[in-house]
Amino acid sequence: MIKKHRKVLLVGDGAVGSSFAFSLLQNCGIDELVIVDLQKEHAEGDSLDLEDLTPMMTPAQIRTGEYSDAADADIVVITAGVPRKPGETRLDLVNKNTKILESIVSPVVDSGFNGIFVVSANPVDILTALTQHISGFPKNKVIGTGTSLDSARLQVALSKEFDVNTSEVDAYILGEHGDSSFAAYDEATIAGQPLLSLPNVDLDRLAQIEDDVKKKGGAIINRKGATFYGVAVCLMKICRAILMDENLVLPISAPVNGQYGLEDGYIGSPAVINGSGIRQVIEVNLTDEESVKMQESARKMNEVLLAAE
């Protein structure tokens, strides 16, 4: 069911959070956006800046607030966290960002919040699982951006390689949003044709593309210090799917419930998102080789999750 009064509480108004807010206001017809950040003055400035969009977009109320404002929110988006420095992996962030996460999720739950958590702070699959553990919410009410950004990057790379519009590329990166992810080429299609059956397909070139895509976040961070536009739109698409009950399929941090040996965690896998949160996790028919990669990625998630708890 499409929500009537659409309210989002955003925690973390840095590069990712403010880019997300900008996209949300332009694409989701929301009624109310409340921003919470430790840097209150900056967040106030941002809400004043963002409200200038509203006459041209949507008559939303935008203000800074507190965790108690989550009480009647549909969605709490968590982007608060320390970003990666050049050379750091996403998993290096686990200790710092787990502490930040704990200080956010408990007061949100104490407010009486009964909506859906959407997480993008890194390492996103771990922090999504921890959000579910700390909140005690049903697994389908906690969503992470997973490999939606990585899959967008793969679509960009394949569209350039095959000189087609990105909308003609159907391809996912699966697994952890991190170094153990992989391109699911066996299921990928270009203009409806299986990628691996295209004439003259060059497997070495595809392996190079996969590697470049996995390193793209680091390549952007080395040049401009952070990445934010891509993940901001992934967050917006997840929120819109919830608010508009879209039944959208995206590769998110999904609770795969024992599949791939991941008992209690989340990992990048396609799922259907609608007003209820994660309506269904899609079981991809992986090849044996891909299953091994997924299991290896899941093993890494298990290891980090156990150490973080």
Ligand X SMILES: NC(=O)C1=CN([C@@H]2O[C@H](COP(=O)(O)OP(=O)(O)OC[C@H]3O[C@@H](n4cnc5c(N)ncnc54)[C@H](O)[C@@H]3O)[C@@H](O)[C@H]2O)C=CC1
DSSP for 160-180 reads HHHT--GGGEE--EEBSSSTT
Q: Rounded to whole angstroms, how far apart are CA atoms 117 and 113?
A: 10
Task: Please name the residues in contact with 277: beta carbons below 8 A apart, sequence gap of 6 or more.
Answer: 116, 138, 140, 141, 142, 143, 242
Instruction: Choose the contact partner of 123 out of ligand X, ligand CC(=O)C(=O)O, none; CB within 5 to 8 A by kind.
Output: none
DSSP for 46-95 reads HHHHHHTTGGGS---EEEE--GGGGGG-SEEEE--SPPPPTT--GGGGHH
Question: Least CB distance from residue 255 to ligand X, whole Å?
Answer: 17
Binding string, 213-252, against ligand CC(=O)C(=O)O, x = CB under 6 A?
A: ----x---------x-------------------------
In the Cβ-directed half-sphere of 169, how many Cα atoms lie within 13 Å?
Answer: 22
195, 201 in Cβ contact below 8 A? yes
* Residue type (1 letter), 148: S
By CB under 6 A, which span of 47-55, 57-65, 99-107, 129-137 interacts with ligand X?
99-107
Q: Is 240 annotated as a binding residue?
A: no
Q: Which tokens go with 135?
A: 């909140």
Q: Rounded to whole angstroms, how far apart are CA atoms 169 and 187?
A: 11
Residue number, nearest CB to ligand X: 14
Binding string, 103-142, against ligand CC(=O)C(=O)O, x = CB under 6 A?
A: -------------------x--------------------
Question: Rule CB under 6 A: which of 213-232 touch ligand X?
Answer: 226-228, 231
Nearer to ligand X, 47 or 97 (CB): 97
Q: Is 279 annotated as a binding residue?
A: no
Active site residue 133: no
Intra-chain end-to-end CA distance of the chain, in Å = 36
Binding site for ligand X (CB under 6 A): 11-17, 36-39, 79-84, 93, 97, 100, 103-104, 120-122, 124, 145, 149, 177, 226-228, 231
Binding site for ligand CC(=O)C(=O)O (CB under 6 A): 84, 90, 122, 149, 217, 227
List the binding residues for NAD(+): 12-17, 37, 67, 81-82, 97, 103, 145
